Amino acid sequence: SQQGEEDPQALSIQEGENATMNCSYKTSINNLQWYRQNSGRGLVHLILIRSNEREKHSGRLRVTLDTSKKSSSLLITASRAADTASYFCATSTGNQFYFGTGTSLTVIP
């Protein structure tokens, strides 16, 4: 399976703290994306990082990519209660998208 692994599986932090979640994958990729899913809903795209990029920022989000280690991290700074959701990384190889196992983030007000 090409499915990636994410850790931690669950993360609980206080509002205002930073949240870091990691993603590891198995094969060479074209790009890696992070998605957010609220309970029982579809996924919302957060950020994409290409295989030749090492770091990318978007608002309170910071993504890093280490292709030598086949890993990526998503940092959410100054977390808010509304950030509570599940976060998935997804890797693209050719015509398929595969999702990681996900991290469930709970931000306590």
Partner 1 sequence: GAVVSQHPSWVICKSGTSVKIECRSLDFQATTMFWYRQFPKQSLMLMATSNEGSKATYEQGVEKDKFLINHASLTLSTLTVTSAHPEDSSFYICSAGERGGGWSPLHFGNGTRLTVT
Residues that bind partner 1 (CB under 8 A): 3, 30-31, 33, 35, 40-45, 48, 88, 90, 92, 95-102, 104
The residue (of 18 and 51) whose beta carbon lies closer to partner 1 is 51
Q: Could you give the maximum distance between any two Cα atoms of the chain, in Å?
A: 41
Residue given tokens 């086949």 in the structure block: 70
The residue (of 35 and 76) whose beta carbon lies closer to partner 1 is 35
Shortest reach from residue 64's CB to partner 1, in Å? 18
- Cβ-Cβ contacts under 8 Å for 96 (sequence gap 6 or more): 2
Shortest reach from residue 23's CB to partner 1, in Å? 11
Query: Helix (H, G, I), strand (E, B), or coil: what is residue 86?
Result: strand
Q: Is 87:71 a contact under the CB 8 Å cutoff?
A: no
Shortest reach from residue 8's CB to partner 1, in Å? 14
Residue given tokens 């770091």 in the structure block: 55
The residue (of 44 and 81) whose beta carbon lies closer to partner 1 is 44
Q: Is 72:63 a contact under the CB 8 Å cutoff?
A: yes
The residue (of 15 and 22) whose beta carbon lies closer to partner 1 is 22
